[in-house]
Structure 1
Amino acid sequence: MWSDEVLFQLHHADGRVRIWRKQHESMHPTCMSTTLQAGGGSVMVWGMFSWHNLDPLIRVEQCLNGTTYLSIVADQVHPIILMAYPNGDGFFQQDNVPCHGARIVQEWFQEHEGDFTLLRWPPQSPDLNPIEHLWGEVKGAIRQLVPQPSNLTELDSAIHQAWCQIPCTTFQRLVESMSRRITTVLKAKGGPTKY
């Protein structure tokens, strides 16, 4: 099972605005653009998937620290993995963000090491987590919405709806690609790859 968290901006912009205008039109209203401080807000979600299914997204309402992450792992990950892999033969992947390495989180994983295997993620490693492609699917679906979400509640709803509409063939294809990804990274000796 692969997991990750991602932040979705309500009004995403790269900060660059391009307007074609003539010299005397510099103050014309059609040549000006309004701005939103801090992008209008954001929604952070945590997700997990496996070959079998996409698990429900968890909205992270507060700062994602060790305590918050531990509650996600204990309340969401653990029961799902126990149900999917009752013999303790499941694998769980997380990356190296600081909250994943918090002492209380690591101690919890040690206490439950017989329930599943936690994959080690080497520091400074290429990001091979296939869930990144699923986040891209969700972001692409949200960009296509007309009208765009206008508040955080609408954005949260759009994220969850887009996640639930990802076809199983998409995430199964990502799981099947893992051996090719790893082989490619090893061949490139950790250098850039198409993944």
Structure 2
Amino acid sequence: MGRGSPIPPMLRQKIVEQYQKGVSQRKMAKSLKLSSSTVHNIIQRFRESGTISVRKGQGRKTILDAHDLRALRLHCITYRNATVMEITTWAQEYFQKTLSVNTIHRAIRRCRLKLYRSKKKPYLNMIQKRRRFLWAKAHLKWTVAKWKTVLWSDESKFEVLFGKPGCHVIRTKEDMARTTQVVISAQFRSLHL
């Protein structure tokens, strides 16, 4: 048969029943509102195999098999900040196959991975996190009047420079808040009073 959705099994059964009764293929095609070639193909398959089911394995085979997809997934997880173009060049060398960027992008999605934009925030080590926690704990009981004496960053001019704008990271939906998937940004302040 050609492209398109397969004929439902009930309709195939009707075609076979009418064929066994001796109805011509043209009359079957007209009564069931199908093309005569479709009716002919279903009857021919019934004569050859004895069944009306659709043959398995129809369609184009994928370039990357299950083993290749596992290797690609492992590479994407290891090198999360790599672009699709970089992954494509790696895959062409590793698999020894001609692969396009679109093929690799579809394969990444088949591996249940997606491209997400990295969160931009400065890298904090454990010492800095501890200091921030202690500072917050020390200022927990401050009054509103005391907080009004603080010069906030939005009240002064700050120049913030981030590295690699628009950087992507490859991850699953569940890996949302991992610290390894963050674009490390450098912040430079210039305070003007």
TM-score where L is the length of structure 2: 0.24
Structure of greater relative contact order (alpha carbons < 8 Å, 6+ residues apart):
1
TM-score where L is the length of structure 1: 0.24
